[in-house]
Structure formats: C-alpha cells, structure tokens
Amino acid sequence: MCIGTFLYRFVVMNRPESIFNPQLSVDCVIFGFDGKHLKVLLAERCEGIDGSAEQKKFKLPGDLIHLKEDLDLAAGRILHELTGLSSIFLKQFSVFGDPERIPDNDDRKWLEKTSGVKIDRVVTTAYYSLIKIDKSNTDQETGNHASWHKITTLPPLIFDHKKIIMTGLEVLRKEIRFEPICFELLPAKFTVRQIQTLYEVILGQELDNRNFRKKLLKAPYIKQLTEKQQGVAHKPALFYRFDRKQYLESRRDILFYNF
Amino acid sequence: MCIGTFLYRFVVMNRPESIFNPQLSVDCVIFGFDGKHLKVLLAERCEGIDGSAEQKKFKLPGDLIHLKEDLDLAAGRILHELTGLSSIFLKQFSVFGDPERIPDNDDRKWLEKTSGVKIDRVVTTAYYSLIKIDKSNTDQETGNHASWHKITTLPPLIFDHKKIIMTGLEVLRKEIRFEPICFELLPAKFTVRQIQTLYEVILGQELDNRNFRKKLLKAPYIKQLTEKQQGVAHKPALFYRFDRKQYLESRRDILFYNF
DNA sequence: AAACTTAACGTACATTTTACGTTAAGTTTG
DNA sequence: CAAACTTAACGTAAAATGTACGTTAAGTTT
C-alpha cells in the first residue's frame, strides 16, 4: 500500500462522509508469465475481522473508487499502487453486478471495517492486465502482501473473486486467438519457444513446434535479433522482438469472418 | 412504458427515499436488421425540462437499476418493457464510468426530473442485443415512443449514448467475425443472400457472393429447407435455417490461434 | 568422442481461400 | 411468346495456408 492509499484510508476511518463511493469498485486480474506457468497476482487479506485467528484468504487487487474517479483511471491507480508500474495493458472485461455477490458474512464485515463505510451492494468492474514476471516483481513477491499464484492452483478467495479470475481467463483465451496480446507477457527479447509455451499454457493445449514456428515467423512484426541465448545445455535459440509499429500497420484492412 | 414502469415512476416521484439506485444504470443497444440496413432502437426523450419547446433528442433504452437488482436482469427488464420480448440475446459489453459522462446541463436536469432523484454520477453498464425486425416491431414502430434508426444516420442523442452505440457496433463487428450471432438478427427461414447482406452491412464491406455461399453452406448447422422464395422477379432462392444444436456441437474442441 | 538436448529447416500432402466463369430458374418487356 | 433481364446456384483452376511429419544443426554433458 503506497502512501497515497494509506492517507486515503486514514481519512476514511476518521471522517463520517467517505471519499469513496461505497457502491462501485474495480478489481484487477493481473496475469503474469514466468516462462513456465500462467500466474495471477493476488493480495492477501491481511486484516482480520477481530484480529484473532482467522482464515487466510486472498483477494484480487482492487478498491472502491473515489467519488468522482473514472473507472479506467481507478484500475490504473490500483495497478500502480501495487506494482509501481504504469501505462500497462489494462482492459475492462466484465461487470459483476449480482446484488448478493458480497455475502452477508465475515467477508462483508471485513470490507466494512477496512473501507470505513457501510457496504450495501457493490458493483465491481473487472479489468485484466498482462505483465512480464521478472526480478523486479518476483524476488520479493512484489511486496505489499501480494504474490503470484498459478491459475491452476488458486488459494481460497473472498467474494466472487474466483469467478472473476475465471471469467478473465476465458476472455484472455478468446483474445489471444486473434490478437497477439501475449507479447505483453513476454520480455522485450524472447525466443520462439517462450511464445509457444505461453500459448500452450493459455490455450491449455500442446502445439507442434515446427508448425508454430512457421506461422509465427511469417508475421511481419516479429523481428529476429542477432543475439543468441546463452548458457543453455543445447543449441542456443535466437532472440526475437515484437515490433508494435509493424503490428499496427499489418492490422489495417484485414477482413475476416468465419462460420 | 409498461404499467410496471409507470408504477415505479409514480412511487419515485412521491417518496423521499427512492427505490432506484441513483448511481447505477443499464443501457441497451438493440440492433435490428430489416433486410437492408442495420438499425438501432432508440427511445424518444419525450418529457422536456419545463414542458416548453425543447430540442428533440433520443436516448438508448435504459434505466436506473433498482436497489437490489441484478444488472443482467435489469437489462432484460428494460428490453422486455420496451419490446415485449423476453429471453433475447443480450450481452454486456462495456461500462461507461467517466464521472463527467452526464454533463451538468439540460440532460442532467431532465434525468433528475424524470427519475425523481438527485443525480450525482451515473455509471452505466451497456448491453447489446440483436433482434429481428418484423411486422410486430416495425409497423407501429414498437409503440412506447421507440423507433428504429439506421446506424449510419443517427439523430442527436443525450449524454454519451452515441459513443455507447459506436462501441457496441465495434463489439458486434468483432463478434460476428468468429461467432455466427448474426442468426439472432434473421428470421427463422432465410436465404443466403440475406445473410450475406447482413454480413456486408455489419462489416461495412462487399463480399463475393460465390465464395460467401461456399463458406456458409459448409457449416454443418446451416440446414437447407425445401421451401423456395416466392414472388420475386428472378430465380427464387432456397430457404435455410440455423440449427442451434448442431452449432453448439460443432464448436466443441476448436483450437485456433493467429498472428 | 559419443550421447544428449533443443533449435532450425524442409517436404509432401490436404485443406482452404481467392478470383473468376458458367448455367439455372424465374419474371418482365417488346 | 421469345428475348432480355435479374439473381440463384454451381464449378474450376491457381494460390495460399495448414498439417503431419522427417532431418540437420549447434551447443552441453558424460
């Protein structure tokens, strides 16, 4: 939690009129790829209801939004507070508006306690983002009581956050079939094998490496570098980079329809 | 406006505490196809600010949601109130959460007057739906001060409703490239030409009829009927129908990725 | 030096797309 | 009533793409 958030919380806990809108929130499903597994960044619900022994639960990074705050900007704020990153791929993908999505139990009491406002119903707008997992956000597990979890083995989550993650994953799966958003999940230099593994973990299916390679390298926005992999116990792979400008150029005037 | 809505309004105007949530709304972009043009169903903002001569503006069918109402159900309610239709294809596609999306002018005053509540900010969840335009909703223009408008020539709209429609159209364009949702826009029996015209108006591009036909008829869920077109001044076309069950069957286990 | 591992390239065949030409079945017109 | 007209329906050849594999290459490890 950055200073800004801390201050907000302080104010909230000590003033009758909240600066938060108690009915609107955003939650971010932050996908990351470490070369092997698709992961999601989760925050620990550290504050218990009464300080005593409680179930350790996780939650999506998210927050109530400020009274006059734009939703997209609020999502950016949360991502920034948690990771220090800004201008990151971030896309609204769904709204969760079931009036009973925040059940009348410990979860709600915890939320009312930490937000300092009476919670009636909360409609949350879900965003997903893709980031590269590297030393800066892996080593200390990003700090802020946040940590990466494989999407295949998620810990217990509050509210409907599991459903939100699964919906986000579906959207990501759908999206990756047509748009190369996967490059947001890779370092600037990558090998063909890395992209293929990423596609495999997202699609949940093995792909033929020879055909995958052919299809990928035909794309005009995949640029080969002269640099090679180092320190591997086999033939080193060449590095490639994603040329965003070429990508946008190549996407113009495509017509496509299917049955 | 159906009786239900009227009652709600009556209650709202006469009670201090509203049964509406003044911060959450849904708006529906209802697409229709009349065989020639892609259209959208718009409601007329009939009540003026002070009853005097005012600018005639249109709005998307939409409403504030009830205090404990689910968003998806609210969208269904609005569609039903306006068209009498239920169990219609209806999909949430975006949230509009700019705090300034309802500007501080006549539009806001009108909204406050008709809803009976003080409007601070309204976050709206947008849905789109697809319906067939036929006699039941064309002849009397659906009643309820609602009417069909070509998406190419939209009248003046309140708030950011034009932006909402355009975003919905983009989503529809994207969606139609991969899923045959277009059959929601066609009568049960249709000709190849009808589908092609529909694709052309949605994609905004002419297609080769011979190749379109081949591609379409390969789909296992397009079933030829024995019936032919009648009363046309040329070779009558065969009718086809969409087999939803076969469609779902054929969609299992498809793997697809592209660069 | 041989074994091992993954990268990188190639090839033959099937399928799909693309760009057209041709025939068919009706109505309208002179 | 035949010729003209209009759109439906079918066909075909070439190009492009996808699929299923086999082979060679460049390193490290044993």
A178 CA – D21 C1', rounded, Å: 27
In a domain, A213, yes or no: yes
C-alpha pair distances (Å), B255 with each of A176, A177, A199:
11, 9, 11
From A52-56, B75-79, B156-160, the region with the lowest mean pLDDT: A52-56
Show which of B153, B176, B199 is a domain's final residue: B176
Q: How far is A50 from chain B (nearest CA, A)?
A: 29
Task: Name the residue closest to the C1' of C6 by its CA.
Answer: A234
Whether residue A11 sits in one domain with residue A73: yes
Whether residue B128 sits in one domain with residue B223: no
Whether residue B214 sits in one domain with residue B160: no
Query: Would the pLDDT of B236 be above 80?
Result: yes
SS3 A130: strand
Name every chain B residue with its beta carbon within 8 A of the beta carbon of A21. Answer: 23, 121
Whether residue A71 sits in one domain with residue A151: yes
In a domain, B255, yes or no: no
Instruction: Choose the mutation target among B181, B200, B257, B258 for the interface with A, i.e. most A CBs under 10 Å.
Output: B257
pLDDT of residue A1: 41
Separation CA B259–CA B254 (nearest Å): 17
- The answer to whether some atom of strand D lies closer than 7 Å to the beta carbon of B193 is yes
A88 CB-near residues (< 8 Å, 6+ apart):
A76, A79, A129, A130, A131, A184
Whether residue A123 sits in one domain with residue A22: yes
Show which of A153, A176, A199 is a domain's final residue: A176
Contact B257 A199 (CB under 8 A): yes
Decide: B181 and A181 in contact? Cβ < 8 Å. Answer: no
Packing angle of the helix pair A192-203, A209-218 (nearest 10 deg): 110
Q: Domain containing B204: what range?
A: 188-250
As for how many domains chain B has, the answer is: 2
Burial of A177 (0-12, 13-18, 19+ CB in 10 A): middle
Of A99, A219, A255, the CB nearest to B70: A99
B227 CA – D6 C1', rounded, Å: 20
Show which of B145, B176, B207 is a domain's final residue: B176
Contact A92 B92 (CB under 8 A): no
Question: Which residues have CB under 7 A from strand C?
Answer: A 191-193, 209-211, 213-214, 232-238, 258; B 208, 210-211, 214-215, 228, 232-236
Nucleotides of C under 7 A from a protein CB: 4-11, 17-21, 24-28
What the block records as the tokens of A209 is: 């490496």
Whether residue B150 sits in one domain with residue B43: yes
Contact B125 A71 (CB under 8 A): no
In a domain, A195, yes or no: yes
DSSP state for residue A244 in the 8-state scheme: H
Contact A259 B222 (CB under 8 A): yes
Whether residue B194 sits in one domain with residue B112: no
In a domain, A259, yes or no: no
Whether residue B133 sits in one domain with residue B28: yes
Whether residue A119 sits in one domain with residue A219: no
What is the CATH number for A152? 3.90.79.10
CB environment A42-78: b (16+ within 10 A), e (fewer): bbebeeeeeeeeeeebbbbbbbbbbeebbbbebbbbb
Name every chain B residue with its beta carbon within 8 A of the beta carbon of A65. Answer: 97
Q: How far is A141 from chain B (nearest CA, A)?
A: 32
Task: Name the residue closest to the C1' of C17 by its CA.
Answer: B211
In a domain, B181, yes or no: no
Nucleotides of D under 7 A from a protein CB: 5-12, 18-22, 25-29
Mean pLDDT of all residues in B194-215: 95
What the block records as the tokens of A51 is: 């300080």
Separation CA B165–CA B155 (nearest Å): 12
pLDDT tens-digit map of A198-218 = 999 999 899 999 999 999 999
Whether residue A241 sits in one domain with residue A121: no
Of B69, B121, B205, the CB nearest to A99: B69
Whether residue B146 sits in one domain with residue B219: no
In a domain, B258, yes or no: no
- The answer to whether some atom of strand D lies closer than 7 Å to the beta carbon of B236 is yes
pLDDT of residue A22: 67
Whether residue A107 sits in one domain with residue A28: yes
In a domain, A258, yes or no: no
Separation CA B38–CA B197 (nearest Å): 10
In a domain, A170, yes or no: yes
Q: DSSP states of A30-56 as a string?
A: EEEE-SS-EEEEEEE--S-SSSSS---
Decide: B30 and B139 in contact? Cβ < 8 Å. Answer: no
pLDDT tens-digit map of B7-16 = 444 444 443 3
Helix (H) or strand (E) holding A193: helix A192-203
B21 CA – D14 C1', rounded, Å: 63
Of A23, A215, A255, the CB nearest to B24: A23
Contact A24 B97 (CB under 8 A): yes
Contact A67 B121 (CB under 8 A): yes
- Which residue, A142, A126, A168, is CA-closest to A82? A142
Separation CA B251–CA B179 (nearest Å): 10
What is the CATH number for B225? 1.10.10.10
The tens-digit pLDDT sequence of chain A (259 residues) is 444 444 444 444 443 344 666 688 999 999 999 988 999 999 987 655 554 445 678 999 999 888 888 999 999 999 998 888 888 889 999 999 898 888 877 778 888 887 777 777 889 999 999 998 876 665 445 556 789 999 999 999 998 999 999 999 999 999 998 888 889 999 999 999 999 999 999 998 999 999 999 999 999 999 999 999 998 999 999 999 999 999 998 887 777 888 8
- Which residue, B194, B199, B179, is CA-closest to B239? B194
Question: Count of alpha carbons within 13 Å of A122, Cβ hemisphere only?
Answer: 29
Helix (H) or strand (E) holding A10: helix A3-14
Closest-CA residue of A relative to B66 is A99
